[in-house]
Amino acid sequence: MEYGISTAGSFSQDSSQRSVPEVLFQPSELGILERYSIIKEIYKVQLSPTIVSLAAHNDTKQAVIKKSIRKDMLIGQTQHDYARQECIIQAQLKHENVVELYDYTENEKEFVLLMEYCNDAGYFEDKIENRLTPIKNQEKLQQYGFDILTGLSYVHSQGIIHSDLKLQNALLQRPSEDDSQAGELPVVKICDFGLSHLVSETNGKAHMSYRCGTNGYIAPEIKPKDTLIGPEIDMWAFGVMLYEMCTAYKPTNLSNYRYGSGPIPFRDRDWKKHSKHVQDLILQCLQVDPSKRILPEDALQHPWFEQTF
Ligand SMILES: Nc1ncnc2c1ncn2[C@@H]1O[C@H](COP(=O)(O)OP(=O)(O)OP(=O)(O)O)[C@@H](O)[C@H]1O
Ligand SMILES: [Mg+2]
């Protein structure tokens, strides 16, 4: 397996797991921030160390995203290590379905990531979680699912478990009007590697010290402390995302359903317009036993992607 992570450096995610590859944290010189001007803040919430702003390069005017992680709001060394690791991991990932990190730096107040800007980043969150509108267009649904799985397959091939896959971390990039007329489709890109884990070369697993992720997306095998996790946890989260895209709610929103307490509920009236194939793919993702869960590569071969509408 290839990891795409430099093995020369001194930072490892979890000192209790020696088999995790050591990686190099190489922030750029501080001067890089002076080359960008902030246009507007786009994400700032209470109690979060993260501020995301739209910025532009002073000379080229290229739009970029500046993500600042404020050190005074990080609790303990572990959270500092996660922030460092976010920079290292994202810097190594280059794929059309993953948000590209152009550069990163660190000063006494913050870690700063400069990355590719997605022009309709809030699309899934706004439509599905805020406006409670499912995606009815089956071709779009297929395309979004395909993009996320393609990105995820690449991320896993680099020895990385995203560990916080959810609608808010799937950003949409829409083509310009000209490109759209020429047939170019929107592209989904995976972002936010702030909770990611590097797998060990020996067993393909990573040690998760404390349960992390987002409620409703956390795979059932993740224990409160000390879980040996595999990339399968991301496929569970993907299953929840796909279910949400189809219905605008998570399975756990239905009459207090709890994962593992019975078959995944599919309420007839919400699935009339959707194919049986997409339901089947969701079921293969939401297998409680991680060894039975479908892998991204196999999911990309699922008959749903062959279906025409
Ligand atoms: N490349 C990008 N292009 C456009 N918008 C972005 C980009 N990256 C992040 N955002 C916006 O900022 C939001 C927060 O970014 P991100 O997910 O990286 O932070 P976070 O680590 O989740 O923050 P928190 O610490 O609060 O959990 C995203 O959900 C998205 O709306
Ligand atoms: Mg996020």
How close is the Cα of 192 to the center of ligand 2, in Å? 5
| Percent residues over pLDDT 70 in the chain | 93
Q: Which of 77, 94, 116 is the last residue of a domain?
A: 116
Mean pLDDT of 252-259: 88
Taking the whole predicted model, whether its pTM rises above 0.85 is answered as yes
Give the number of whichever ligand sits closest to the CA of residue 87: 1
- In this structure, the answer to whether residues 82 and 159 fall within a common structural domain is no
59 and 149 share a domain? Answer: no
Establish whether residue 102 lines the binding site of ligand 1, counting it when its CB lies within 6 angstroms of any ligand atom. Answer: no
83: containing domain: 22-116
Q: What are the CA-CA distances from residue 183 to residues 91, 157, 178 (Å)? A: 30, 30, 9
Q: Measuring from atom 23 of ligand 1, which residue has the nearest CA?
A: 50
**What local confidence, expressed as pLDDT, does residue 23 receive?**
62
Among the residues of the chain, which ranges form H helices? Answer: 76-92, 123-124, 138-157, 177-181, 232-247, 268-271, 276-285, 296-299
Give 48-88 pLDDT, tens digit per residue. 999 999 999 999 999 999 999 999 999 989 899 999 999 99
In a domain, 165, yes or no: yes
Task: Answer whether 148 contacts ligand 1 (Cβ < 6 A).
Answer: no
Same domain, 69 and 169: no
Total tally of structural domains belonging to the chain: 2
Q: Is 100 in the pocket of ligand 1 (CB under 6 A)?
A: no
Q: Give yes or no: residues 290 and 253 share one domain.
A: yes
| Residues 7 and 21: beta-carbon distance below 8 Å | yes
Residues 148 and 225 in one domain: yes
Residue 17 lies in a domain: no
Is residue 147 domain-resident? yes
pLDDT for 107-148, tens place per residue? 999 999 999 999 999 999 999 999 999 999 999 999 999 999
pLDDT for 136 equals: 96
Report the alpha-carbon distance of residue 10 to residue 78 in Å, rounded.
15
User: Looking at the domain assignment, is residue 16 inside a domain?
Assistant: no
Give the ligand whose atoms come closest to the C-alpha of residue 191. Answer: 1
Please check the confidence at residue 149 and state whether its pLDDT lies above 80: yes
Q: What is the CATH number of the domain that holds 127?
A: 1.10.510.10
Position 9 pLDDT exceeds 70: no
Distance 191 CA to ligand 1 centre (A): 7
Mean local confidence (pLDDT), 34-44: 96
| 127 and 162 together in one domain | yes
Going by pLDDT thresholds of 50, 70 and 90, the confidence category of residue 189 is: very high
**Is the Cβ atom of 45 under 6 angstroms away from ligand 1?**
yes
- Domain-located, residue 4: no
Pocket of ligand 1 contains residue 68 by CB under 6 Å:
no
Mark whether 103 and 130 lie in a shared domain.
no
- Tell me which of 95, 116, 137 is where a domain ends: 116
Verify that 180 and 231 share a domain, yes or no.
yes
For residues 240 and 277, membership in a common domain is answered with yes
Residues 22-43 have a mean pLDDT of 87
19-33, 104-118, 171-185, 276-290, range with the lowest pLDDT: 19-33
Please name the residue whose Cα sits nearest to atom 16 of ligand 1: 192
- Domain boundary among the residues 65, 87, 116 is at 116
22 band by pLDDT with thresholds 50, 70 and 90? low
DSSP 8-class letter at 74:
-
Q: Give distance in angstroms: CA of 251 to centre of ligand 2.
A: 21
Residue 37, domain CATH: 3.30.200.20
Q: Mean of the per-residue pLDDT values for the chain? A: 91
